[in-house]
Amino acid sequence: AAAELGPRFAARARELAAETTDKVRKNELLRLAEVCDWVPAHPARSFYEAVQSMWLTYVLVNWETMDGVVAVSPGRVDQYWYPYYEEDIRSGKITKEEAQELLDLWILKLQMPAWGTQDNHGLILGQQAVAHVSVGGFKPDGRDATNELSLMVIDAMIHTRLTEPNFTVFVHNKTPDELLLKATELAATGMGQPMFQNAEIFVAGLMGRGMASGAPITIEAARCASEIGCVEPCFPGMDGMIQRGHTNHAAYLEFALNNGMSRVYGKKMGLETGDPGAFTSFEEVKEAYLKQQAFGLRNFVAYGNIADLALAETFPTSFQSALVDDCIEKGLSKENGGARYPGVTGFMPTGLPDVVDSLAAIKKVVFDDKKITMAELIDALDANFDGYEHIQRMLLDAPKYGNDDDYADELMIWAAHEAAQEGLKHSNRRGGKYVGGALAFWFFVPLGHAVGALPSGRLSGHPLSNGNGPCESSYRNGPLAVLKSVGKTDYTELSNGSVINMRLDPAFAKDDEHRQRFVGLIRSMVDEKVPHVQFNYVSSETLIDAQTKPQDYKDLVVRVAGYSAYFVYLEKEMQDDIISRAYQAV
């Protein structure tokens, strides 16, 4: 059935060629027909056929997948397309300009399969397929993988300036300046692309999984891995992983500080872990939080395994599984564990920075400085700080994660480790484990609605942290302090992908000096062992003006969390969150 797709496109191309009087267009369509006569049924013989084969395969996979177009990702195209490009350039079969046009057109095609609408996905309007394309990184032998096609794919992103695809530049300590400077050209467009992924942490995290993916992971497979969706790692052609969603760790802390009750919903949603007003030590607070976290994850895993079973029984993929190593040999779909790596179940602990800022405030204000009691803190949280503004002020002034302050940063190390280890206690039905990451996607807004006031000083219902960087009210010491704080956590444990959002002054791209400083910031990210960083480069004035005059800014693209979107189509609460993000100078 899949082999018939190419000839169907070829026949349609010939019909269109017969109808047109434009000789140039006629020749293009006839050439396209020749290509589709061959792919995807047969191995590509040229760069053109390789690109077309990828596109038709992408179409087929999306047709078969239950969730439609969500997160089907082409991966590191600069690696597997490069041999075709190199040979065609050498033989004179194609020019660089012709190859660039094919890349540009392919990027345009990835923008087409939209799934968000204002009616059913108002919070994420502007997002589309979450297809992920990556360049750079390592070769299987550990050498730098940058090639001419890496730069051309970045140029294609610059030429098209669209929200899709999600785009990453993999960097490491030997990434050439040429690639990073080209990436700054894309960043200068202000569209929130590219993301920068630390290839060294990325590979170490995959290797650190051990048997969590259901089979021993080779170093070569880890170096060739790419991203799907937002930032989640995947072994192309070998993986059966499934992403299962977000766990609300800020809610777990609220339950610990309210004996299992939700302040927002007024009912029991967690465990009874004791009257928090009677806690006499900081260790009791941490212990109650860990019990709530374990309870929440047990329920999450139960849901996840039921969902996996339903998926395997009702929507197993035949075509996609045929493209994944070992499924045919085992006679099993990837949903039933047939893949070379049967796969982890990914989950995203959301709100960890909120938890950390809250714990740091409790430790400092209640137990170290003894300015208030636990009972007084609980009364303030119950009142959403109404009438307790003096307590809120003390909590807001306490140490905060993201400022290179070990007082708070060590609590992030602890919280991230505990979340990761709790997940690894659970197995999925494919033989893998539950592996955590640090991505809020767009859920930092609705999950925030479900959480009452927190000891960090945050008010009830406000958005949670939008990734694993500092909470928006916590930035105090600039971008390098953020990187130093983030890098203290062992992200090889949170190997399901992490997101750190930062907002930079657009002036960083105004001249060569500023671009070199930006390259230095990215290299600092690698040196500090930060797993990921992504930027918005739009001024607050521009964003505020876009809120009031959306008709003048319909093409304004911003980085939300794990994806880019058209700013004027986002819900106002999410727009406000992006505007509130700390503004950093380079």
**Active-site residue set:** 230, 232
Upper half-sphere CA count for residue 571 (Cβ side, 13 Å) = 17
With 0-12 / 13-18 / 19 or more C-beta atoms within 10 angstroms meaning exposed / middle / buried, residue 548 is: exposed
- Helix (H/G/I), strand (E/B), else coil: 246: strand
Structure tokens belonging to residue 205: 């995290």
Query: In b/e form, how buried is each residue of 303-313, taking b as 16+ CB within 10 angstroms?
Result: ebbeebeebbe
Alpha-carbon distance of 242 to 70, in angstroms, equals: 12
Alpha-carbon distance of 336 to 225, in angstroms, equals: 22
Alpha-carbon distance of 205 to 208, in angstroms, equals: 5
Chain center to CA of 147: 25
Give ∠ CA 399-402-407 in degrees, rounded to 5. Answer: 40
Alpha-carbon distance of 272 to 524, in angstroms, equals: 44
Do strands 501-504 and 434-436 pair parallel, antiparallel, or not at all (unpaired)?
unpaired
- Helix (H/G/I), strand (E/B), else coil: 295: helix
Beta-strand runs (E) in 372-506: 434-436, 501-504
Q: Is 107:152 a contact under the CB 8 Å cutoff? A: no
DSSP letter (8 states) at residue 66? T
Length of the chain measured in residues: 586
Place of tokens 């059935």: 1
Estimate the crossing angle of helix 374-382 against helix 389-397, to 10 degrees.
Answer: 110
Upper half-sphere CA count for residue 570 (Cβ side, 13 Å) = 27
Q: Which residues pair with 357 in a beta bridge?
A: none
Place of tokens 């993988």: 145
